[in-house]
Structure 1
Amino acid sequence: MSIEVQNLTKIYGAQRAVDGISFSLKPGEIVGFLGPNGAGKSTTMKILTGYLHPSSGTAKVADYDLSSQSMAARRCVGYLPEHNPLYTDMYVKEFLLFSGKLYGMSGKTLTSRVEEMIALCGLEVERKKKIGQLSKGYRQRVGLAQSFLHDPAVLILDEPTTGLDPNQILEIRELIKTAGHNKTVLFSTHIMQEVEALCDRVIIINRGKVVSDTSLQILRQSGNSMEEIFRNLTI
């Protein structure tokens, strides 16, 4: 499995942000991780990237246990957090070269890969600008380029289209489809159209618990709209 979660729990004081959830993702799957704000999506993703330690349970990425093989697991992950952390005083290409070095890349391999990501993410026109000068849509493109840079087997994207205008949303969706080809992709959203545009499968979480884990096709066959399904499952 590319991602395997068993009885995962994260407790903050008296609050169970994640409450004993289990799920797994096979190689090549694109899975939507849905839920209302505060459902536990971001906390789960932070555990899967090694940013947070769980209170109990286990999480594996690319068969590496995050509790004992955290660094090996992280090398297999490309991560775009909800609040895209970028060095706004750096130029686009400069930032990607810097990020590649952090991944252990160097020389012609690094420069070639950076050029490939600039082309793939549509950053050619912006490559010589400082990140602080970019629109939010282009900043998201830089964040995605950084997460794809080391050619990870697993992509974890936390609400990658939040705050973008309709045209930017379509562009980012297409970029995820293209760059995520042959990769395992877990991305969180609370936008149903996002799921219908990108996903093979949907995991819905509410109040820290998984309330549904099924294919998009089965959800559609229920006869209800995606909005009705989501509303009923999260009441």
Structure 2
Amino acid sequence: MSLKISGLTKKFGEQVALNDINITIANNEIIGLLGPNGAGKSTLMKSITGVLKIDEGEILLDEKNVSENEIESKKKIGFLPENNPLYNEMYVKEYLQFVANLHNIKKERVEQVIDLVGITPEKSKKISQLSKGYKQRVGLAQAILHEPDLLILDEPTNGLDPNQIVEIRNVIKEIGKEKTVILSTHIMQEVEALCSRVILIHQGKILQDSPISEFKGKFESLEEAFQSYTV
């Protein structure tokens, strides 16, 4: 899987959300996408997935323009947005089977993913009956169901208890061995536990794109480095 973003710019009226973003990802790795609220992280993720139309620049997934090959590109991308939109009146397994049908995926894969993300005890419940943590797991399940080459996760452990966070981290770590994962989070421990590379966005621009050790650099912690770069 290769992803190349060149000169990506996105505006909302007079506001510049992304300003000349350039990123190249060539290998399977877990990348931490960091930045303060309003930095442009969600806009970048939605641009990659084709949810938002870009104003300038181009995004190439496996050397094909995402804007010109929308359906083919979306087949290769899994996305868990921060607000995790789900059909609350559907049952868990019913919902995942619905998603599987959209992708022409066999039923066996549904059971496999249910087990992988740890929602087997909840699979016969309505989504509306689930805790926030289990809803996050269902969202992650739909994102990986079609075995995408690129997985984009926006705050995937939001609302989970400490045990659930560790479990979801382990799932993401396993996926990252064979796929590329872009992980947006405000939890620095998550970045240290999972990511080999950090892309820091601030005010729509990339301030740093480097291995995590280089990003941390002379600072004692990732939090300290983050504050230094963005304050």
TM-score by length of 1: 0.94
CA distance in 2, matches of 1:219, 1:19: 21
Q: Are residue 32 (structure 1) and residue 28 (structure 2) matched?
A: no
CA distance in 2, matches of 1:62, 1:86: 29
Match of 1:177 among 173, 178, 198: 173
Gaps of 5+ in 2: none
CA-to-partner distance for each residue in 1:114-158, whole Å, 9 max, x for gaps?
Answer: 011011111110111111111111111111111111111110111
Aligned residue in 2 for 1:203: 199
Choose 176-185 or 198-207, whichever is displaced more. Answer: 176-185
Aligned residue in 2 for 1:186: 182
Q: Does the 8 Å contact 1:33/1:204 carry over to 2? A: yes
Q: Are residue 19 (structure 1) and residue 15 (structure 2) matched?
A: no
Give 1:114's aligned amino acid. Answer: V
Aligned residue in 1 for 2:230: 234
Q: Does the 8 Å contact 1:8/1:21 carry over to 2? A: yes
Q: Are residue 158 (structure 1) and residue 158 (structure 2) matched?
A: no
Identity %: 51
Give 1:231's aligned amino acid. Answer: Q
Q: What is the SS of the residue equivalent to 2:120?
A: coil
CA-to-partner distance for each residue in 1:55-94, whole Å, 9 max, x for gaps?
Answer: 1111122322112111111110011011101111111111
* Alpha-carbon distance, 1:182 to partner: 0.7
Match of 2:116 among 115, 120, 126: 120
* Alpha-carbon distance, 1:103 to partner: 1.3
CA distance in 1, matches of 2:206, 2:8: 11
* Alpha-carbon distance, 1:27 to partner: 2.8
* Alpha-carbon distance, 1:221 to partner: 4.0
Aligned residue in 2 for 1:42: 42
Choose 18-27 or 203-212, whichever is displaced more. Answer: 18-27
Q: Are residue 225 (structure 1) and residue 199 (structure 2) matched?
A: no
Give 2:225's aligned amino acid. Answer: I
Q: Does the 8 Å contact 1:8/1:56 carry over to 2? A: yes
Q: Does the 8 Å contact 1:27/1:182 carry over to 2? A: no
Q: What is the SS of the residue equivalent to 1:53?
A: coil
* Alpha-carbon distance, 1:171 to partner: 2.0
* Alpha-carbon distance, 1:175 to partner: 1.7
TM-score by length of 2: 0.96
Give 2:39's aligned amino acid. Answer: A
Q: Does the 8 Å contact 1:64/1:70 carry over to 2? A: no
Aligned residue in 2 for 1:168: 164
CA-to-partner distance for each residue in 1:93-125, whole Å, 9 max, x for gaps?
Answer: 1111100111132xxxx1110011011111110
Aligned residue in 2 for 1:58: 58
CA distance in 1, matches of 2:214, 2:9: 28
